[in-house]
Amino acid sequence: MTTATRRMLVTMALAAQVGAVAAQQAPAVDTSQWVCEYCVAPAGPESEIGVSAENVSQDSYRFSRYTGFEKGTGWGLDATLRSRSGLNYADVYVTRLGLPYGTIEAEGGKQGTYKLTFRYAELPFNVSNSALTVFDGTGSNRLTLPLAWLRGVNTGFMPGLAGSLHSAKIDSLRTQSGVGLSFVPSGGWEVGLKVRQETREGTQRMAGSFFFNSTPLIVPIDYDTKDVEAYASYATRAWQVRLAYQGSFFGQHNKAVIWDNPFAEFAPGATTGQIGSPPGNQFHQVSASGAYQFSEVTRANANIALGRMVQDSKFLSATINGVLAPGALPRDSLEGQIQTTRADLKLVTALSPKWGLNLAFVHDNRDNKTPQATFNWVTTDMLVATPRANLPYSFTRNVYKVSTDYRVTPRAKASLGFDRDMQDRTNQEVSKTTEDTLWAKYALRTRRHFDVTLNYAHARREGEAYQAVSTLSPPENPLLRKYNMADRSQDLVGMRMAVLPVETVTLALDYSQAKEDYSKSAVGLTLSERRTLGANLAAQLGEDSSASLYYSIEQIKSQQSGAQSFTNPADWTAENLDRIRTAGVGLKHALIPKRFDLGADYTHSHSIGDVTVSTGAGGPGFPSNTVDLEMVKLYAHYRLASGLSVQANFWRERYGSSNWALDGVSPATLPNVLTSGETSPNYKVRVVNVALRYAF
């Protein structure tokens, strides 16, 4: 036995004796509350299944716009099913199956080896159930007038109008389904494939016209979109690389809608009109992205994508009016093709423990290679118009960003940045614009529970000489300035403050303001301004109760100037002013801790919208548009036994609105517009939901 080994054994023996003495002298350590931060173990039941009954008091398309709620009682299934066996796993999530807006999602595989995913969802979209129409065949691609219909020069001379009106719903249903598969063939690698399909069926609004007479149409929606993505990625400690392909294929099943003209013919043969639907198209893109960690303080990211859009659907005939002879088209399809290139580069580094530097560059290019030609065309199936040429629009955008962060103190940080956005366009009124933005941000967090963040940004956009596109027909007013290309000055201000006066109370205040000045525009948008102020209070009232309160005010204002003719620079102005106030309160209380929970939420929102037009001639203005929303939600959750619980929810919503563009406007109110007679939404709806759930 060596001397070193002998010494080690002696040391271990002495340590054991000292430990035994210490154990006798020191109290025993209570480890019952110790938690392993790095252990992954189930904390309770992993699966749950439940059945719910839901009752809706009345139908309202505004209330059920995105949820699809229907009057009456329905039954639904909710489930979370999880299975684990070593590295193998399977998860299934079922939400509202049997009720509107139901979804099924599943994921399974072997950790670190492969993964399978599946998703199915039905997403309703309700627009209106108060629309009126005189057409038969609503929702089809052929809208016909009643056999006894007598055409009139205007809506006041249509004797069969009142007796022919009937209601029609405007709604649609999107059905989504998709699957995905990914493999991890070896260390660092992952390859995958995702396929998704969405179909949408239903109806939507559209307007048809014959010169100065217009008619609302309810036309069909029937299309599908297929998306495909394939990718491969590789990652090490320093490198991350990803290659991918994305493809999107849009298919339209209704090529066009043909509708009868309810007005008297102002041109020979103008008895029916035709409107085309969005054509089928494809999009393909390959992309490569990567990141490299140069050191602990320096990292670079890059993403490059090349895309190609194609639209080659056959043209419809120029008109279905057999009296007109517009001449042949230069080709039988658009032969549309657009190539896209996008590159995003970013570098993040630390110059010192206090200084940080961020650099970014974005290149976005759209090259429209659609061939240009002159087309013969017909205006509203009435008249042969002056031939026009299509204008393939292209642009190139380069954005440069630089910013720095400085740690003023351990609890305060200041940031400063500069962005330059440069755009070049073809076939547009302004060929080149440059926008510079300077911004600053300051964040402070004190030791006494006080946080504040301040930010400010100033931007200025200037462009080359504004010139109306000469080939447009009818021509544009040369004084018009489109807001997205006009010279502009913009200021953004923001503040957020959070205070904790005591440990159980948090008060937060938010303020933001955005102002855009287009004062150089003689005709067009001249001013846009938005202000928002909000307050939020949250309090923990005890171990079993909490409350929250919030209030916000928002004001949106815009001003524009217009001209009735090219000779007058601006002979009328308009101002839009919207004001929205929202308040709410929420309460949660455990009536019996860990067994019986209660909660309530109340929200009230009121908005007023005013449009003021000044022509110098005086006269009455437009009435205010208003929306008033009141919502109450109550819920209770009671645990009947181990794993078994019941939950009840009550939802009451009251909605009142007024809109001068709808209220009092019957189908015959406007002489040259056969309106749909819709009314502003007003409703009171109650929803009761009771669910029984079992966790295991």
**Cβ 657 vs Cβ 630: under 8 Å:** no
Of 595, 622, 649, which residue constitutes the final position of a domain?
Answer: 622
Would residue 676 count as lying in a domain?
no
Residue 134 forms part of a structural domain: yes
Backbone angles phi, psi at 168, to 5 degrees: -150, 140
In whole angstroms, what is the distance from residue 69 CA to residue 418 CA?
Answer: 48
Residue 76 CA, chain-centre distance (Å), reads 27
With respect to residue 364, please indicate whether it lies within any of the assigned structural domains. Answer: no
Q: What is the dihedral of CA 132, 138, 144, 149, to 10 degrees?
A: -20
Q: Which two tokens stand for residue 249?
A: 């294929």
Q: Is 670 part of any domain? A: no
Span 179-188, average pLDDT: 92
> What phi and psi values does residue 266 have, to the nearest 5 degrees?
-100, 0
Model-level pTM?
0.87
Residue 2's pLDDT is 43
Last residue of a domain, one of 580, 599, 622: 622
Asked if residue 348 is part of any domain, the answer here is: no
Average pLDDT over residues 274-303: 96
DSSP symbol at 687: E
- 20 token code pair: 């035994």
Give pairs for 79-88: CB < 8 Å, separation 24+. 79/47, 79/48, 79/49, 79/50, 80/47, 80/48, 80/49, 81/47, 81/49, 82/46, 82/47, 84/46, 87/111, 87/112, 87/113
For 287, what's the count of Cα atoms within 13 Å in the CB-facing half-sphere? 23
Q: Which two tokens stand for residue 590?
A: 């455990």
Model pLDDT, residue 5: 38
Q: How many CB atoms lie within 10 A of CB 556?
A: 17
Positive or negative, the CA dihedral 248, 252, 255, 257 is negative
Q: What's the pLDDT at 571?
A: 87
Tell me, yes or no, whether 331 lies in a domain. Answer: no
Whole-angstrom distance, CA of residue 95 vs CA of residue 109: 22
Residue 21's pLDDT band, with cuts at 50, 70 and 90, is very low
Per the model's pLDDT, the better-predicted residue between 490 and 22 turns out to be 490
Question: What percent of the chain is predicted at pLDDT more than 70?
Answer: 93
| 159 close to 90: Cβ distance less than 8 angstroms | no
Round to whole Å and give the CA distance between 316 and 173.
Answer: 27
**Model pLDDT, residue 397:** 98
Q: Which pLDDT score is estimated for 10?
A: 33
Residue 116 forms part of a structural domain:
no
Mean pLDDT of 497-524: 94
pLDDT in tens, 535-588: 999 999 989 999 999 999 999 999 999 998 887 778 899 999 999 999 999 999
Domain boundary among 572, 604, 622: 622
Helix (H, G, I), strand (E, B) or coil at 11: helix
For residue 24, with 0-12 CB atoms within 10 Å meaning exposed, 13-18 middle and 19 or more buried, which class applies?
A: exposed
Helix runs in 350-403, H state only:
none
Q: Which two tokens stand for residue 660?
A: 């001068």
pLDDT score of 19: 36
Q: What share of the chain is helix, strand, coil (3-state, %, to 5)?
A: 5, 60, 35
Q: How many domains does the chain have?
A: 2
Q: What is the average pLDDT across 352-371?
A: 97
Mean pLDDT of the chain: 91
Q: Does a structural domain hold residue 552?
A: yes
What range defines the domain where residue 517 resides?
502-622
- pLDDT tier, 4 (very low <50, low <70, confident <90, very high otherwise): very low
- Helix ranges restricted to H, 147-281: 161-164
pLDDT higher than 90, residue 692:
yes
Q: Say how far apart CA 3 and CA 9 lie, in whole Å.
A: 10
Summarize pLDDT for 184-193 with one digit per residue, the tens: 988 889 999 9
